[in-house]
Each structure stands twice: as structure tokens, then as C-alpha cells.
Amino acid sequence: MELKNKTILITGSTDGVGRVVAQRLGAAGARVLVHGRDATRGKAVVTEIEAASGEAELLVADLSSLAQVRRLAEAVRARTDRLDILINNAGVGTAGQGAKRQVSADGYELRFAVNYLAGFLLTSELLPLLKASTPARIVNVASAGQQAIDFGDVMLTRSYDSVRAYCQSKLGQILFTIDLAEQLKGTGVTVNALHPASYMNTTMVRQAGVTPWSSVETGADAILNLATSLALDGKSGLYFDGLRESRADAQAYDAKARQQLRNLSVDLVGLAASKEEHS
């Protein structure tokens, strides 16, 4: 794919694999919207991209707050009239065994809120812009670590385990990917998900107490494949393990589960009410 004059938003691109993806896209001629929580780190990434003759802008937002997710979408719309690629990469890791349950600014289980719900809302808010920029792509950076969502205790209030929380949030991204692909048929916008690489050399992995054994460069290759490969033109609703198309947990292919998650998510982010207010 020719990247010159393409506008690309990458969440969580001030560190780890997101940073490498942002640098590579900037070097390839894309206009990169760099997102992160930390302005200092974000400015450093923008400076790196500009030093390599690329174009980049920084958008600061904490995705554990739905209000800030909405403000991020507003900031994107204010800065560009097109969005060619959205890469939902930001996430919170397991923090290792025994980590205590945390909640988001909105009172939701933190990993579900940041890893899944923020991307659900941000994507929903930016869909009109993506549809106006076709052909456009959405890439959801998930994980091979997946666990079926217990719809009786989505927020894990009864029995908390951070690994389970992480794995169900990542599977949530894949359910969302397949569900959204159905909704976007015929629009010119495609959406795919992937596990980039196992235990990359990232802050998230080190915080979990795991010794990394994959490089962020390997993970970046996989993300860029979904974002830019001509072989994926028009292909949607797929899950990749690295560079290979693969199969996710069985729940991802359960239409009833996907609908349950969609209905819950719309309710949790107040999307239905929000749309009614603007209609």
C-alpha cells in the first residue's frame, strides 16, 4: 500500500510495539497521529518521526476514561478530514499473578475498560471519518491469550484474576472485530485483529514478571501486515497469529455472544443515548 498522504492513528504509540509501528509508518511517508498518556514520551516519538523527515502529531488521552476517549476522537476530527487507518494498540497487561482488581475512571474493570471498551468507543466515534476515507482499515491488536467472557460477571467482581481479566478483554477485541466486519460489509472499511508476537520486549511484559522472548520489531511486522499489505485488500473479520491467519477462541465465532457483547458495550459507553442526543 502506498502510504504517502495517508493519515494513520495508532493508540499506545509512545512505547513498545506501537512506537516502532509509528516510526515505520512515518518513515514510509504517512501522516502519523501519535497517541499516548504521557506528553513527554509522546513528544519524543513525534521528534523522532520528524527527524526522519516524517509527519507526526501528538494526541494525549488516558483511555481508562471514556470522556477522554471521546475527546481523543474529537481531537482527531479537528485535525484531519480523513483517516485511512486506525490501529487500536493501547493496552494494560496482566501486571503478573496476584495483581489486585483495579477500576477505570467510569468504575469498570480496568483491563476490560482500556483493552476493549476504549477501542470499541473510539472506533465507533471515528467510523464516519473512516467511511469517508475509503478504502480504510481498522487493526485491533489483541492477543493469543484469550478466555471466554463470562457475561454473568464481566467485571470480575466475584473472583478476580488479572490474567483472566486480560485474556477476556483481548478476546472481547476479537468478538468486536468479527461483529464489526459484518456491519461494515460493502462500506470499503475493513477490520481485522491479531496477536502480534508472544512476550515481546515491552514494558507490559516486563511488568508481568515475564522474560521477553520476542522482539517488538517482529510484532510491528505483523501489525503492519494487517495495516498495509495489498494481499489483505477487501479482507475483513479475520484473526491473525503473527503473519498467519489463524483461529481465535470458539466464543469469537458465536453470533449470540457477539451480540451480547455489542449490546453490553453500547450500554456501558452510553452510545445509544449519545446518538439520540445528537439526532
**127-147 confidence digits (pLDDT tens):** 999 999 999 999 999 999 999
Question: With 0-12 CB in 10 A as exposed, 13-18 as middle and 19+ as buried, what is 265?
Answer: buried
Where do we find the cell 496476584? 98
Judge whether residue 23 has pLDDT over 60: yes
Average pLDDT along the chain: 92
Determine the average pLDDT of the residues in 178-195. 98
pLDDT of residue 213: 54
How far apart are alpha carbons 222 and 241 in whole angstroms? 8
Q: Is 160 a catalytic residue?
A: no
Confidence of residue 276 (pLDDT cuts 50, 70, 90): very low
Confidence of residue 99 (pLDDT cuts 50, 70, 90): confident
Judge whether residue 274 has pLDDT over 50: no
pLDDT of residue 215: 77
Q: Give me 141's grid cell.
A: 491488536
Local structure of residue 248 (DSSP, 8 states): -
pLDDT of residue 278: 35
Q: Give me 122's grid cell.
A: 473510539
Strand partners, 244: 241
How far apart are alpha carbons 98 and 161 in whole angstroms? 7
**Which of 108, 116, 160, 166 does the annotation list as catalytic?**
166
Where do we find the cell 469469537? 252
Confidence of residue 97 (pLDDT cuts 50, 70, 90): low
Pairing relationship of beta strands 239-241 and 85-88 according to DSSP bridges = unpaired
Q: Which residues of 39-74 are buried (b: 16+ CB within 10 A; e: fewer)?
A: eebbbbbbebbeeeebebbbbbbbbbbbebbbebbe
